[in-house]
Structure 1
Amino acid sequence: MSLRIGYVREHFSSPLLQFAEADEGHTITLVECPSGTGQLISRLTKDEIDVAIALTDPLISGIANGSQAYKLIGSYVTTPLNWAVITGRDSKYEKISDLKDTTIGISRLGSGSQTMAYVMGFQQGWSPEGMKFQVNNDIQGLINSINDGSTSAFMWEWFTTKPWLDSGEVRFIGSVPTPWPSWLVAAQPSANTEALKQFLTTLSSYVSSFKSTERQETNNVEFIQSKFGYGEEDIKAWMKTVDYPQDCLAIPKDVIMNTLSILEKAGVVKSPEGGFNVNDFVESKVVKLT
């Protein structure tokens, strides 16, 4: 029985898509989750997927806030994610500080778009309790909301939303890179341990191939163009900013603890008495903590 792998169909998923296309043994089945990490976590909770490749911060904050639906099993992208701060084409907002006390659009409660809004607010000195949000489900709902004025702005990955910038539908008024590596892998506790290990081992080989200089100059550009329609210059610019792990089965302990520290300061999580225990966040039968 193949593992059901939840993912977001973005350029970051390219090594996973290459894996799936070559998966002659049908060891994995991809399940697209266009609304992002909030939807991935929801589907893990509902037993609609076995594994999620999702954003670091919502995965960690979900466990910290009591979710038993999944544990971390590996790493996927080791570089930060650059979140654009996006407003309407005709809105009055010109810089991030203009957004104080306004309503920020998010895809789902607990999503990366909400977590990073809190981080942005923390950097600006805003009170987390005073921040207001509107759920708009997906990228089109978010774009509609900033252009009809029901929200002031939303946050999404820079290159994913750049086509709407280029077409004049939205404006970027800043960016907030994540202060942590951007993507981790999580799984239901009931998922088959050996199948998870095999999946991550094979994914590591595709990640390694994707990272190679030869692939970056040739195959990767063609692959990303064919799948996502991005321009060659944008693809090459993105590839200069992104890196993947040597071993998808490993997570540095500092990634978890440092992320928790920042999320606590931003008001997203609250440390229990005695502090967080890194072992509560991982499936120790699968992952290697380094």
Structure 2
Amino acid sequence: MGPLRVGYVREHFSSPLLQFAEADQGKTFTLVECPSGTGQLISRLTNNEIDVAIALTDALVSGIAKGSKAYKLVGSYVNSPLNWAVITGNSSSFNSIADLKDTTIGISRHGSGSQTMAFVMALQQGWSPTTLKFQVNNDIKGLISSVNDSSTSAFMWEWFTTKPWLDSGEVRFIGSVPTPWSSWLIAAHPSAERAPKEAVRSFLNSLTVYVATFDSKESRDSKNVPFVQKTWGYPEADIKEWMSTVKYTTDCTTISSAVLSEVLRILSTAGFITSPEGVVHPSAKPIGPLCAL
């Protein structure tokens, strides 16, 4: 068994993971970038291209609820909500979320956060989920092209990740939809051959140390802004605004059963999934088909 193959999305949320990877130097895990987001992470877990994934809560939970056997939930990463911008073309006719009713929404992949959050947006707007139409555009560049060539009306992506295209005038933001749950969980393939429990536990325990350091007051006051600025080139003001909203977990080995219950409740109400019975015990750690370890 070689190092764990850990899939991730290379954006500012992955800062503690990148710091951990730099220190580990490939001894216990290697990083596999998945720029298309959680849909691609789930696909790579399915296709034996990665063993562990740090991905969006709603897409991971809904994937299992829809029958995926490619992974189990093993831990948590970010406890604060994710703020999804609703993004349209720079010269489109859409000026509010309400204008998007009965139009085609761009998504990265089926089952991705960009799709699950479109159902949440529809629920908030009172739209029937059966009226939602989607076009797959693979990644952020494809999504931006689609709203500017009018093949889609809008797409949803994390606010600060897409803000550089807003600042350059390539797109417009017409609203936002924060997740009604903590935003990032950690999943692993269920087989002992690909993701041995002890190796996964060791990874999660070590990641907890880097997350705690990054989330500490000392790092927030001195180290985080220059690290994020150097790594991604975001303006200092945007980094500070993001840092004021993000809160990482205090223990990457834990998962909140309340969070899982809320995701299942909202996504089933929105029409995206049929919530499985007996998945989460109401007063204990998550059980059943969702979680391992």
After TM superposition, the score normalised by the length of structure 2 is 0.95
1:66-85 matches, within 5 Å, as 66-85=67-86
Amino acid in the other structure paired with 1:47: N
Query: Which whole-Å CA distance do the structure 2 matches of 1:247 and 1:33 have between them?
Result: 24
- 8 Å CA contact 2:279, 2:289 repeated in 1: no
- 8 Å CA contact 1:189, 1:283 repeated in 2: no
Cα pair distance change 1:149/1:209, threshold 3 Å: same
Q: Which runs of 5+ in 2 are unaligned?
A: 281-285
Query: Which whole-Å CA distance do the structure 2 matches of 1:107 and 1:82 have between them?
Result: 17
Amino acid in the other structure paired with 1:279: I
% identity of equivalent residues: 68
Amino acid in the other structure paired with 1:62: G
What is the aligned partner in structure 1 of residue 201 from structure 2?
197
Please tell me whether residue 143 in structure 1 is matched to residue 144 in structure 2. yes
Q: Say which SS state the counterpart of residue 138 (structure 2) adopts.
A: coil
Please tell me whether residue 208 in structure 1 is matched to residue 212 in structure 2. yes
Amino acid in the other structure paired with 2:163: K
- 8 Å CA contact 1:72, 1:281 repeated in 2: no
Please tell me whether residue 177 in structure 1 is matched to residue 185 in structure 2. no
What is the aligned partner in structure 1 of residue 283 from structure 2?
none
What is the aligned partner in structure 2 of residue 153 from structure 1?
154
Q: Say which SS state the counterpart of residue 4 (structure 1) adopts.
A: strand
Of residues 233, 244, 252, the one that matches 2:237 is 233
Moved more, 150-159 or 24-33: 24-33
Deviations 1:73-124 (A, max 9, x none): 0000000000000000000001000000000000000000000001000110
Amino acid in the other structure paired with 2:287: N
After TM superposition, the score normalised by the length of structure 1 is 0.96
Query: Which whole-Å CA distance do the structure 1 matches of 2:252 and 2:99 have between them?
Result: 40
Amino acid in the other structure paired with 2:23: A
Query: Which whole-Å CA distance do the structure 2 matches of 1:151 and 1:19 have between them?
Result: 38
Query: Which whole-Å CA distance do the structure 1 matches of 2:125 and 2:184 have between them?
Result: 25
Query: Which whole-Å CA distance do the structure 1 matches of 2:248 and 2:46 have between them?
Result: 27
Please tell me whether residue 267 in structure 1 is matched to residue 271 in structure 2. yes
Query: Which whole-Å CA distance do the structure 2 matches of 1:121 and 1:209 have between them?
Result: 38
Query: Which whole-Å CA distance do the structure 2 matches of 1:152 and 1:69 have between them?
Result: 33
Q: CA deviation at 1:275?
A: 5.2
Q: Say which SS state the counterpart of residue 245 (structure 1) adopts.
A: coil
- 8 Å CA contact 1:4, 1:51 repeated in 2: yes
The count of residues paired between Structure 1 and Structure 2 equals: 284
Q: CA deviation at 1:24?
A: 4.3
Q: Say which SS state the counterpart of residue 251 (structure 1) adopts.
A: coil
Q: What RMSD, in angstroms, separates the aligned Cα atoms of the two structures? A: 1.1
- 8 Å CA contact 2:80, 2:182 repeated in 1: yes
Q: Say which SS state the counterpart of residue 208 (structure 1) adopts.
A: helix
Q: Say which SS state the counterpart of residue 24 (structure 2) adopts.
A: coil
1:1-290 matches, within 5 Å, as 1-24=2-25, 26-190=27-191, 191-272=195-276, 274=277, 276-277=279-280, 278-284=286-292, 286=293
Q: Say which SS state the counterpart of residue 22 (structure 1) adopts.
A: helix
Query: Which whole-Å CA distance do the structure 1 matches of 2:88 and 2:203 have between them?
Result: 39
Q: CA deviation at 1:156?
A: 0.2
- 8 Å CA contact 1:53, 1:185 repeated in 2: yes
Q: Which runs of 4+ in 1 moved over 2 A?
A: 274-278, 280-284
Q: Say which SS state the counterpart of residue 250 (structure 1) adopts.
A: coil
Deviations 1:176-231 (A, max 9, x none): 00001000000000111000000000000000000111111221111111111101
Moved more, 218-227 or 178-187: 218-227
Q: CA deviation at 1:283?
A: 3.8
Query: Which whole-Å CA distance do the structure 1 matches of 2:26 and 2:7 have between them?
Result: 19
Cα pair distance change 1:269/1:2, threshold 3 Å: same
Q: Say which SS state the counterpart of residue 75 (structure 1) adopts.
A: strand
- 8 Å CA contact 1:119, 1:263 repeated in 2: yes
